[in-house]
Amino acid sequence: PVEHQRHRAHCRGTRLPHKDGLQRPGAGGVDVLHPRAQAPDPSSVALRHDAQMENTASTPVSHADLRKRIAPFRVKPRAVVRLGDDSKDFDPGYRDQFVTRADAGLALAEGVRQLGEYQARLAAQSTYAVLVILQAMDAAGKDGTIKHVLSGVNPQGVTVHPFKVPSLIELQHDYLWRYQLQLPERGSIGIFNRSHYEEVLVVRVHPELLGNEHLPGAQTDIWKRRFREINDWERYLADNGVRIVKLFLNLSKQEQRRRFLDRIDEPDKNWKFNVADALERERWDDYQHAYEEVLSATSTKYAPWHVVPADHKWFARLAASWIILDALMDIDPKYPKVDPQTRAKMLEIKERLLAEGRHRE
């Protein structure tokens, strides 16, 4: 409850004192999680200069800090979830203590940098895979989040799969088949831009789609059963080294309206506007209800959901980077150590290479 009070207070722009002592003065560099706390006095040119110097050497975000930051977004298993205006828990406009996009810039850059570092170790270790599942209503910013959050990661270590309306071939298989085919391999990060959750979201809002799925016999309790099947599948994946990170970008209906209007008014954004999206908007309440049930039923210890505030795109990106980074920090991948025999062989080769150089000189 205290966490929620803080969460709501932040959402309304009220500033509560930091109870958690996250601030780390004297740690060297700018504390990226508290830009305001260390903002230079605008009257002092010298101070401003210092801050700029420090900006190039910001402090890495610690795992303990991250855990506290993302705690309000995590859905507890079987929690009753309410979205929308009367939600006590999840406000799409939440932005922690960051006020503007610029405030959050340094923190995002730091998160992106750390993601790159961890991904390099994840690839070298080649034991775990990270599967990021992105779900949202239209115009919530899935694409921009992928673009920004993964900008520091080696492209060879990431795969992104957008899932659209299933093809005729896909419909000839069980509903999880096409998602299984696109799972990331060990050592890499896979992003599902939409995912198997569409099977209990869009298909639930439009149950006539079930008619295309060639299902055997009468499907009683189909949604409950699909929740169970999805949980079972995810548990199997988690047990076998796939770390699952589930993000629901939580956009408000008013902000979606604003973004749709932008897409209509700005010629360069016209291509993003889809008439079908406007039709889905008319089913907003049905989707919100479907999401509430999904979040309740499929947030598990091994694959928890995170409700990411998405009315400020820059905050959604920052929060997504924190949540993915937290998963990588949990894995804590290590560069593999070579065995003594291989090491001895390496040193032998080194000697030969050095001798080659001496010979040339």
H-run or E-run covering 350: helix 340-360
Q: Does 165 bind ligand ATP (CB under 6 A)?
A: yes
Q: How many residues of this chain interact with Mg ion, rule: CB under 5 A?
A: 1
Among 203, 244, 245, 310, binds ligand ATP (CB under 6 A): 203
**Of 81 and 290, CB closest to Mg ion:** 290
d(CA 322, CA 250): 16
Kindly write out the interface string for residues 119-158 of this chain, putting x where it contacts Mg ion by CB under 5 A and - elsewhere. Answer: -------------------x--------------------
**Of 43 and 167, CB closest to ligand ATP:** 167
**Touching ligand ATP, residues 118-147 (CB under 6 A):** 138, 143
**Of 121 and 272, CB closest to Mg ion:** 272
**Of 96 and 199, CB closest to ligand ATP:** 199
**Of 209 and 222, CB closest to ligand ATP:** 209
CB 156 → ligand ATP: shortest distance, Å? 24
CA distances from 349 to 54, 85, 146, 228, 346 (A): 43, 67, 42, 55, 5
CA 129 from centroid of its chain's CA atoms = 15
CB 193 → Mg ion: shortest distance, Å? 10
Angle in degrees, 0-180, between the axes of helices 101-125 and 142-149, rounded to the nearest 10: 70
Question: Helix or strand or coil: residue 272?
Answer: helix
Place of tokens 């089913």: 283
**Of 233 and 302, CB closest to ligand ATP:** 233
State the DSSP string of 227-263: HHHHHHHHHHHHHTTEEEEEEEEE--HHHHHHHHHHH
Q: Does 164 bind ligand ATP (CB under 6 A)?
A: yes
Query: For residue 296, what are the contacts with CB-CB under 8 A and spacing of at least 6?
Result: 75, 78, 79, 80, 81
**Of 54 and 143, CB closest to Mg ion:** 143
CA distances from 262 to 139, 258, 259 (A): 11, 6, 5
Minimal CA–CA distance to 136: which of 316, 325, 315?
Answer: 316
**Of 189 and 203, CB closest to ligand ATP:** 203
Q: Which stretch binds ligand ATP (CB under 6 A): 85-93, 181-189, 202-210, 351-359?
A: 202-210
**Touching Mg ion, residues 265-294 (CB under 5 A):** none
Residue 96 partner contact from ligand ATP, Mg ion, none using kind-dependent CB cut-offs of 5 to 8 Å: none
**Touching ligand ATP, residues 250-269 (CB under 6 A):** none
> By the 8 A CB rule, do 91 and 11 touch?
yes
Residue 306 burial by Cβ neighbours in a 10 Å radius (0-12, 13-18, 19+): buried
Strand residue runs (E) in 103-152:
129-136
Q: Does 54 bind ligand ATP (CB under 6 A)?
A: no
d(CA 140, CA 136): 6
Minimal CA–CA distance to 31: which of 69, 72, 11, 61?
Answer: 61
CA distances from 18 to 26, 193, 316 (A): 17, 35, 21
Place of tokens 């993302």: 70
**Of 138 and 255, CB closest to Mg ion:** 138
Residue number, nearest CB to Mg ion: 138
Q: Does 166 bind ligand ATP (CB under 6 A)?
A: yes
Residue 141 partner contact from Mg ion, ligand ATP, none using kind-dependent CB cut-offs of 5 to 8 Å: none
CB 287 → ligand ATP: shortest distance, Å? 10
Q: Which stretch binds ligand ATP (CB under 6 A): 48-56, 112-120, 157-165, 235-243?
A: 157-165
CB 277 → Mg ion: shortest distance, Å? 5
CB 98 → Mg ion: shortest distance, Å? 28
* Contacts with Mg ion, residue ranges (CB under 5 A): 138
* Contacts with ligand ATP, residue ranges (CB under 6 A): 138, 143, 162-166, 193-194, 198-199, 202-203, 209, 274
